[in-house]
């Protein structure tokens, strides 16, 4: 090669969000001595609302050798549009995708989208760096563990899976390494990966396996640097369960409390509400938590069983009450279209939540996501869903299409009424 | 909302004290036209003071587009407007301003929505339509107009003990479907709907 491998990373986020995933990818690759001076990075952290043609207009003049894009069910259609434009305009550019929308169905995605060259499956940091290393050396990247790619003869092939990263601290902090900067006083924090739960509709627990944590020293350094030196006034924790264990909650609360006392606030965090008592609610309050998001997702016994979830109404109610006593608003989430649920079950769930007067009741429609248990068992469970992203449920064995749409609309009105309070 | 203010305050007290469970207490100040009551702001303020969490007003809608009524209602604590909507396809009065009350109602809904958006306040707006042989054929178009103006739900009210013919039922069913495809809930009371639309049937109190 005559110059560095020009690598453009693109994130198409929901409005108001940044891509921590791209930050990790870049921070890890930039810390790889083998890539120093051999790879040049440019990151476009955009929103999904930006027209793919305009993104291409910005990206193509850079004459990228590699374009890497993180794909979720929400941005997939825009990403595929963008890839087609880049492929047509710059056939030599290698287009590499990763993320939960494509990783679990990598071969099928490559078959369906000839504009894509390669998909990084699972955790991307090491695999993407290895791909870049192979490309800088002119080697065949199809042999990199965790990669699916299309061979020159057109066949799609997958190298073996890559093991999960055992030591998360080996991934440099995007903020501490300077790859990412806080935006408008806000920053993202991740203290662990994986999830203790195995909810059938969620990718988190199944895709990222057992819980692996960043070290406390690493997390404390991020908090101290961001809140102390960079003037960050709000953190968004992306941990699937903020109160993972009591001990961990105590530690996090102690780490955040000095800054919360000076005004630091946490965006809505997700909690296991059935483990929240007055002491836990107090710790959350001290940490700067003003609102939490939680289930129950469903109160129907059949749906809870099919989705491998537990729900104890008394414990749930006690958790909401404890949080309200601590001045913390609760958002109760319910999903319509879960296997086994009837429309009546769904509205029973709404009624249950409203009677707790939690602050917010959020209903959403099931999306059958690649890599989840419901995706693999869809036929067995009678789930009919859109094969195209975002994979919305079309009908279940217990709720037809029309009933689903009616329930969505009625639930929206109930939410509007509930939220129209003083 | 007929009666002297003292009497209405007593009924508000009664409603708040007798409220059981959450969420609430929630209150509707109903009647022919809430904005016609000379002490409406004071009554709303009183309701808020005694602990009402969600306060709705019943109105024909037109007064909301007059002066500062929309902003004023929000200011004192109204968060839900229930508009009694009368679809019409021919002038109802020779006075131009009163010829089409539905247009006035739609203007009022839009004014309330704009005022709420300007204040960053979450509100609910619904409409109630009496179903009769005159309004039946106009229902689907009326729902579309209300959707466009910004309502979140519509209730169709049949007369007590009235029976609806097949043509009328078709109009009501079409109105329900028009609502759903536009993301607005249409509930029906007092009309026996076919099984295909039974999900839209609500009790008189909206449940």
Asked if A177 and A221 count as a contact pair (C-beta separation under 8 A), the reply is: no
Rounded to 10°, the helix A278-286/A246-260 angle is 40
Contacts of residue A401 in chain B, CB cutoff 8 Å? Answer: none
Residue A118: enclosing H or E segment and its boundaries? strand A118-120
CA distance B189 to B126: 15
A181-187: long-range contacts at Cβ-Cβ below 8 A with a sequence spacing of 24 or more?
A: A181/A230, A182/A226, A182/A230, A182/A231, A182/A232, A183/A18, A185/A231, A185/A232, A185/A233, A185/A234, A186/A232, A186/A233, A186/A234, A186/A235, A186/A236, A186/A267, A187/A226, A187/A230, A187/A232, A187/A234, A187/A235, A187/A236
Average pLDDT, chain A: 96
Distances (CA, A) of A297 to A244, A302, A364, B63: 19, 12, 9, 42
Contact B185 A418 (CB under 8 A): no
Q: How far apart are the CA of A16 and the nearest CA of chain B, in angstroms?
A: 18
DSSP assignment string, B55-85: EEEEE-SGGGGSTTHHHHHHHHT--EEEEE-
pLDDT tens for A344-397 read: 999 999 999 999 999 999 999 999 999 999 999 999 999 999 999 999 999 999
What are the pLDDT digits (tens) for A298-333? 999 999 999 999 999 999 999 999 999 999 999 999
pLDDT-derived band at A228, boundaries 50, 70, 90:
confident
**Mean pLDDT along residues A99-125:** 97
Q: Is there a contact between A260 and A225 (Cβ–Cβ < 8 Å)? A: no
By Cβ distance, the residue of B77, B122, B185 closest to A409 is B185
Residues of B in CB contact (< 8 Å) with A are 21-23, 48, 52-55, 77, 79-80, 122-124, 126, 152-153, 179-180, 183-185, 199-200
Q: In chain B, what residues touch A343 (CB-CB under 8 Å)?
A: 199
Q: Distance between CA B154 and CA B175 in Å, rounded?
A: 10
By residue count, chain A amounts to 422
Contact B23 A421 (CB under 8 A): yes
Helix (H, G, I), strand (E, B) or coil at A71: coil
How many whole angstroms separate alpha carbon A317 and alpha carbon A314?
A: 5
State whether B152 and A413 contact (CB < 8 Å): yes
Query: Are B53 and A417 inside 8 Å of each other by CB?
Result: no
Q: Two tokens at B193?
A: 């709907």
Could A416 and B152 be called an inter-chain contact, meaning their C-beta atoms sit closer than 8 Å?
yes
Tell me which chain B residue has its CA closest to the CA of residue A406: B180
Helix (H) or strand (E) run with residue A384 in it: strand A384-385
| pLDDT value of position B204 | 63
- Contact list, A410 vs chain B (CB under 8 Å): 185
Distance between A359 CA and the closest CA of chain B, angstroms:
10
* pLDDT at residue A231, rounded to an integer: 87
What is the nearest CA distance from B74 to chain A, expressed in angstroms?
A: 10
| Confidence (pLDDT) at A416 | 97
First to last CA, chain B: 22
Q: What is the pLDDT of residue A58?
A: 97
Show pLDDT as tens, one digit a residue, over chain B (207 residues).
556 789 999 999 999 999 999 999 999 998 889 999 989 999 999 999 999 999 999 999 999 999 999 999 999 999 999 999 999 877 777 776 666 889 999 999 999 999 999 999 999 999 999 999 889 999 999 999 999 999 999 999 997 655 678 889 999 999 999 999 999 999 999 999 999 999 999 976 655
The pLDDT confidence band at residue A230, using thresholds 50, 70 and 90, is confident
Q: Do A413 and B80 touch (CB under 8 A)?
A: no
């Amino acid at each position: 090669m005559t110059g560095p491998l020009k690598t453009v990373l693109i994130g198409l986020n929901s409005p108001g969000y940044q891509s921590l995933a791209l930050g990790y990818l870049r921070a890890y690759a930039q810390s790889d001595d083998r890539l120093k001076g051999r790879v040049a990075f440019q990151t476009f952290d955009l929103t999904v609302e930006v027209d793919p043609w305009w993104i291409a207009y910005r990206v193509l003049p850079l004459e990228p050798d590699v374009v890497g894009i993180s794909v979720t069910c929400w941005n997939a259609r825009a990403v595929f549009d963008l890839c087609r434009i880049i492929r047509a305009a710059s056939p030599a550019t290698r287009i590499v995708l990763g993320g939960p929308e494509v990783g679990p169905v990598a071969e099928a995605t490559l078959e369906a989208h000839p504009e894509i060259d390669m998909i990084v499956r699972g955790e991307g940091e090491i695999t993407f760096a290895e791909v870049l290393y192979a490309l800088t050396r002119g080697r065949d990247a199809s042999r990199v563990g965790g990669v699916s790619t299309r061979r020159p003869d057109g066949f799609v092939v997958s190298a073996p899976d890559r093991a999960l990263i055992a030591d998360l601290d080996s991934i440099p902090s995007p903020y501490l390494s300077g790859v990412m900067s806080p935006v408008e006083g806000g920053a993202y924090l991740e203290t662990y990966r994986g999830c203790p739960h195995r909810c059938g509709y969620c990718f988190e627990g199944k895709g990222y396996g057992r819980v692996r944590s960043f070290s406390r020293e690493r997390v404390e350094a991020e908090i101290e640097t961001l809140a102390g030196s960079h003037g960050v006034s709000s953190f968004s924790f992306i941990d699937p369960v903020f109160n993972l264990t009591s001990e961990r909650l105590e530690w996090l609360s102690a780490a955040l409390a000095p800054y919360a006392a000076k005004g630091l606030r946490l965006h809505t965090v997700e909690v296991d509400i059935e483990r929240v008592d007055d002491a836990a609610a107090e710790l959350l309050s001290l940490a700067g938590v003003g609102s939490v998001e939680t289930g129950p997702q469903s109160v129907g016994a059949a749906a809870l069983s099919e989705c491998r979830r537990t729900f104890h109404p008394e414990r749930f109610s006690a958790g909401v009450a404890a949080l309200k006593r601590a001045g913390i608003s609760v958002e109760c989430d319910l999903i319509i279209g879960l296997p086994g649920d009837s429309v009546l079950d769904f509205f029973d769930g709404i009624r249950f939540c409203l009677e707790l007067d939690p602050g917010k009741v959020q209903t959403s429609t099931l999306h059958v996501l690649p890599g989840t248990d419901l995706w693999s068992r869809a036929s067995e469970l009678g789930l009919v869903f859109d094969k195209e992203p975002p994979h919305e449920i079309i009908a279940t064995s217990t709720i037809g299409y029309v009933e689903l749409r009616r329930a969505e609309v009625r639930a929206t009105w109930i939410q509007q009424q509930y939220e129209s309070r003083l | 909302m007929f009666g002297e203010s003292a009497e209405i305050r007593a009924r508000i007290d009664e409603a708040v004290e007798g409220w059981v469970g959450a969420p609430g207490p929630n209150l509707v100040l109903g009647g022919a036209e809430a904005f016609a009551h000379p002490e409406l702001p004071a009554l709303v303020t009183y309701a808020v003071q005694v602990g009402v969490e969600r306060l709705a007003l019943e109105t024909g809608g037109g007064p909301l587009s007059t002066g500062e009524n929309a902003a004023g209602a929000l200011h004192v604590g109204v968060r839900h407007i229930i508009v009694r909507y009368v679809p019409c396809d021919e002038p109802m009065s020779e006075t131009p301003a009163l010829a089409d009350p539905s247009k006035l109602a739609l203007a009022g809904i839009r004014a309330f929505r704009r005022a709420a958006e300007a204040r960053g306040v979450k509100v609910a707006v619904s409409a109630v339509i009496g179903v009769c042989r005159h309004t039946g054929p106009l229902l689907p178009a009326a729902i579309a107009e209300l959707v466009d103006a910004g309502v979140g739900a519509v209730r169709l009210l049949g007369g007590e003990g009235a029976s609806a013919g097949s043509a009328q039922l078709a109009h009501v069913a079409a109105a329900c479907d028009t609502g759903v495809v536009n993301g607005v809930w249409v509930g029906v009371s007092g009309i026996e709907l076919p099984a295909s639309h039974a999900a839209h049937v609500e009790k008189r109190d909206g449940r």
